[in-house]
């Protein structure tokens, strides 16, 4: 136990399970001052297997306490992804005194005497803050023999229609159902057969509303849809989003069917969904993603556990020339692990004039503002003396930001791992700002205050020790650079 959370590659400020395999985040709900995080969990191995719901709780979304398994497979099968809500008014009739938690998840088995997967939705409820769960005797509560991929229910309360709404992944679409009591569900509409990306099976939807540019009177609805791995596409599994309107029944996309909006331009942010029941007066919409990719998740070089979650991120909407877009920022509670900082200002970087800084901790946050002068290609190298490095580069002519992990560390476990990740990004006033979080086996890059995100796993032999600012030709000005040491969230 002494060595727990100190293993090679073990994330120090991201949630990972004490041991064994984890995939999607599930059942995220805030209740009685606790953030719950359940997750797809295989307790008997470090590869995907019969799914349980693992469980952890946090007071601040940063420090997590591992709890015993929440949900075990039963006569209806394994426990696939789903959500949890607070049933404030006991619409379900499950509770005697006050509100309680209800989990809505997919029961996964096979049709009798067949290899055909069967996916049906089920309920469980908890009277003790999610510590123990009772499965509803009427399970499963929703099924459809005609649809094989029929899973990942995300449920929320819709005030205006006084109903529960469920978004469910149904093959190449999201089907919306409504209910008054969480037990009886009615078909409302289907969205997406022609919209967005269909480069993989649709999974793990979410639907919620957000103000545009912080204006409460101008709200839009955001739909998340993850798309599964497909060998024809190098990116593997990833998550898209749609922006539109929702009236309690039907989601209407603001954009053309051809418009594809990606949530993250790194390879390792999948199946993300948001927390339910964050109090309205707080108003935050926070999500977390699984920091891996089905393309190689089962092969990443860790032994005791496999996979971590992304940092939790607060979502907002901003309008731009292209339309309304999602912005994501690490939750402010990250401040609780910030330690010493070093600040530099007004440095000029030229072609043969890089600037080199010592990364004084393996766990770092970097905040930097770069101002283009005569350079058309510049950036940051994070490197170790073993010649391993991750390169973050901006190309002015292409208007693209790249995160290159081809030489980041071990990539022998999968041909798909070594990758140059890229995103379109316009410079404003010839400036670009980046926030970078470096943990033992990941780098998260947020550009332009969270307008563009890259979540990228890395497996270096040892932590990066240096940060190099470079320009491929011409000059740039580093108007500010702040290096901040971060603390481990695990007990030392
Ligand atoms: C997404 C997913 C879900 C499913 C779960 C199974 O990563 O494939 O659609 O419920 O994982 O573990």
Q: Residue 102: which residues within 8 A CB-CB, separation 6 or more?
A: 84, 85, 86, 87, 92, 94, 123, 124, 125, 126, 182
111 and 254 in a single domain? The answer is: yes
Residues 289 and 356 in one domain: no
* Closest Cα to atom 9 of ligand 1: 203
Burial of 369 (0-12, 13-18, 19+ CB in 10 A): middle
- Tell me: pLDDT of 429 over 60: yes
Rounded-to-10 torsion of CA 253, 87, 77, 19 = 90
Whether residues 58 and 207 share a domain: the answer is yes
Residue, of 282 and 92, whose pLDDT is higher:
92
Domain residues for 362? 338-486
- H/E run at residue 238: strand 238-246
Which distant-in-sequence residues (6+ apart) come within 8 Å of 386 by Cβ? 460, 461, 462
The CB of 174 under 6 Å from ligand 1? The reply is no
Residue 4 lies in a domain: no
Q: How many CB atoms are closer than 10 A to CB 153?
A: 27
* 414 plus 291 within the same structural domain: no
Structure tokens at 304: 């005791």
Strand arrangement of the beta sheet that strand 377-383 belongs to: 355-358, 466-471, 377-383, 389-395, 400-404, 420-424
Q: Which of 24, 152, 264, 268 is catalytic?
A: 24
Residue in the block written with tokens 């469920």 = 166
Q: What is the pLDDT of residue 243?
A: 98
Residue 367 Cα distances to 136, 183, 477, angstroms: 49, 48, 14
* CA nearest to 60, candidates 336, 324, 261, 315: 336
Query: Do residues 297 and 12 lie in contact, with contact meaning Cβ atoms separated by under 8 Å?
Result: no
Q: Residue 236 in contact with residue 271, Cβ under 8 Å?
A: no
Q: What is the pLDDT of residues 297-310, one digit of tens each?
A: 999 999 999 999 99
Q: Which pLDDT band, with edges at 50, 70 and 90, does 203 fall under? A: very high
% pLDDT > 90, the chain: 97
Domain end, chosen from 287, 313, 330, is at 330
Is 279 found in the same domain as 395? no
Tens digit of each residue's pLDDT (9 = 90 or more) over 150-168: 999 999 999 999 999 999 9
The preferred substitution site among 204, 294, 297 for testing ligand 1, maximizing ligand atoms within 8 Å of CB, is 204
Q: 38, 52, 203, 295: which to mutate for ligand 1, most atoms within 8 A of CB?
A: 203
Residue of 173, 180, 182 lying closest to 83 (CA atoms)? 182
CB burial of 186-223 (b: ≥16 within 10 Å; e: otherwise) equals eebbebbeebbbbbbbbbbbbbbebebeeeeeeebbbb
CB of 229 within 6 A of ligand 1: the answer is no
Q: What are the phi and psi torsion angles at 243 (to 5°)?
A: -120, 135
- Predicted confidence (pLDDT) per residue in 56-103, tens digit: 999 999 999 999 999 999 999 999 999 999 999 999 999 998 999 999
80 CB near ligand 1 (under 6 Å): yes
Please tell me whether residue 340 adopts helix, strand or coil conformation: strand
* Domain assignment present for 10: no
State the average pLDDT over residues 470-484. 97
Boundary-marking domain end, from 283, 306, 330:
330
- Lookup: tokens for 271: 């199946």
The finding on whether 151 has its CB within 6 A of some atom of ligand 1 is yes
Q: Residues 434-439: what's their mean pLDDT?
A: 98
- Coil, strand or helix: which one is 443? strand
pLDDT of residue 269: 98
**pLDDT of res. 2:** 54
Residue 37 is assigned to a structural domain of this protein: yes
* Judgement on whether residues 246 and 374 belong to the same structural domain of the protein: no
Report the pLDDT value the prediction gives residue 466, as an integer from 0 to 100: 98
User: Across the chain, what does the average pLDDT equal?
Assistant: 97
Mean of pLDDT values over 457-486: 97
Same domain, 70 and 174: yes
Distance CA 325, CA 28 (A): 24
Give a yes or no: residue 35 inside a domain: yes
**pLDDT beyond 70 at 392:** yes
404 is catalytic: no
Å from CA of 81 to ligand 1 middle: 6
Same domain, 394 and 270: no
Distance CA(409)–CA(411), nearest Å, equals 6
Q: What mean pLDDT is predicted for residues 373-400?
A: 96
Gap between the Cα atoms of 48 and 45, Å rounded: 7
pLDDT digits (tens, 9 = 90+) for 11-51: 999 999 999 999 999 999 999 999 999 999 999 999 999 99
Domain-embedded: residue 135: yes
Helix-then-strand count for the chain, H and E:
0, 34
Cβ contact 11:362 at 8 Å: no
pLDDT at 492: 62
Q: What average pLDDT score do residues 236-248 get?
A: 98
- Residue 161 domain flag: yes
The whole-number pLDDT of residue 97 equals: 87
What CATH number does the domain containing 165 carry? 2.115.10.20
**Pocket flag, ligand 1, residue 297 (CB < 6 Å):** no
Q: State the average pLDDT over residues 361-375.
A: 97
- pLDDT band for position 491 (50/70/90)? confident
Residue with the bigger pLDDT between 3 and 345: it is 345
Which of 300, 330, 360 is where one domain is finished? Answer: 330
- For residues 348 and 384, membership in a common domain is answered with yes
Q: Which two tokens stand for residue 26?
A: 């599930």
pLDDT at 284: 95
Q: What is the mean pLDDT of residues 459-476?
A: 97
Protein residue closest via CA to atom 6 of ligand 1: 80
pLDDT at 3: 77
Q: How far apart are alpha carbons 122 and 318 in whole angstroms?
A: 36
Q: Same domain for 181 and 269?
A: yes
Task: Check pocket membership of 78 for ligand 1, CB cut-off 6 A.
Answer: no
How many domains would you assign to the chain? 2
| Rounded Cα distance, 64 and 19, in Å | 14
On whether residue 12 sits in a domain, the answer given is: no
Regarding pTM above 0.75, the answer is: yes
Instruction: Write out pLDDT tens, residues 370-383.
Output: 999 999 999 999 99
pLDDT at 4: 83
Q: Closest Cα partner for 204 from 111, 290, 93?
A: 290
Whether 422 and 391 map to the same domain: the answer is yes
125 and 89 within one domain: yes
Q: Which CATH number do you get for residue 470?
A: 2.60.120.560
Cβ atoms of 442 and 457 within 8 Å: the answer is yes
Residue spans of beta strands (DSSP E) within 247-312? 251-253, 261-262, 270-274, 286-290, 305-306
Q: Is residue 6 part of a domain?
A: no
- In angstroms, the CA 276 to CA 283 distance is 11
What pLDDT, on the 0 to 100 scale, is given for residue 413?
Answer: 98
């Amino acid at each position: 136990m002494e060595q727990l959370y100190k293993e090679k590659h073990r994330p120090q400020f991201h949630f990972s399970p004490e041991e064994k395999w984890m995939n999607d985040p599930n059942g995220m709900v805030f209740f009685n001052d606790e953030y719950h995080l359940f997750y797809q969990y295989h307790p008997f191995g470090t590869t995907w297997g019969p799914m349980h719901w693992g469980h952890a709780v946090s007071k601040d979304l940063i420090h997590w306490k591992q709890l015993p398994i929440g949900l075990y497979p039963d006569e209806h099968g394994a426990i696939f992804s789903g959500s949890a809500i607070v049933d404030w008014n006991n619409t379900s009739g499950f509770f005697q005194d006050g509100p309680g938690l209800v989990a809505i998840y997919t029961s996964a088995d096979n049709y009798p005497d067949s290899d055909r997967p069967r996916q049906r939705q089920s309920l469980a409820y908890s009277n003790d803050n999610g510590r123990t769960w009772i499965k509803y005797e009427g399970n499963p509560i929703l099924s459809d023999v005609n649809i094989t991929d029929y899973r990942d229910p995300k449920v929320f309360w819709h005030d205006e229609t006084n109903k529960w709404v469920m978004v469910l992944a149904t093959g190449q679409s999201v089907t919306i159902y409504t209910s008054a009591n969480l037990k009886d569900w009615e078909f409302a509409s289907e969205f997406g057969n022609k919209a967005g990306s269909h480069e993989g099976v649709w999974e793990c939807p979410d639907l919620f509303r957000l103000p545009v540019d912080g204006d409460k009177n101008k709200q839009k609805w955001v739909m998340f849809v993850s798309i599964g791995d497909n060998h024809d596409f190098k990116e593997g599994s990833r998550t898209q989003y749609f922006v539109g309107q929702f009236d309690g029944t039907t989601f209407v996309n603001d954009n053309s069917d051809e418009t594809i909006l990606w949530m993250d331009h790194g390879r390792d942010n999948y199946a993300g969904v948001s927390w339910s029941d964050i109090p309205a007066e707080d108003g935050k919409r926070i999500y977390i993603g699984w920091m891996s990719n089905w393309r190689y998740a089962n092969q990443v070089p860790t032994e005791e556990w496999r996979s971590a979650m992304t940092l939790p991120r607060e979502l907002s909407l901003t309008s731009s020339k292209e339309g309304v877009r999602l912005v994501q920022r690490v939750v402010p509670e990250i401040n609780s692990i910030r330690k010493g900082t070093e600040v530099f200002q007004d440095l000029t970087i030229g072609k043969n004039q890089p600037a080199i800084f010592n990364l004084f901790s393996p766990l770092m946050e970097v905040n930097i503002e770069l101002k283009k002068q005569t350079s058309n290609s510049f950036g940051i190298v994070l490197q170790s003396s073993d010649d391993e490095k991750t390169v973050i580069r901006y190309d002015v002519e292409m208007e693209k930001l790249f995160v290159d992990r081809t030489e980041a560390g071990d990539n022998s476990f999968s041909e798909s791992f070594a990758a140059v990740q890229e995103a379109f990004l316009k410079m404003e006033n010839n400036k670009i700002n980046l926030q970078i979080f470096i943990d033992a086996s990941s780098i998260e890059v947020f550009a332009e205050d969270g307008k563009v995100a890259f979540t990228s796993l890395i497996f270096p032999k040892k932590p990066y020790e240096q940060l190099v600012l470079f320009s491929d030709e011409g000059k740039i000005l580093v108007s500010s650079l702040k290096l901040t040491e971060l603390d481990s969230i695990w007990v030392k």
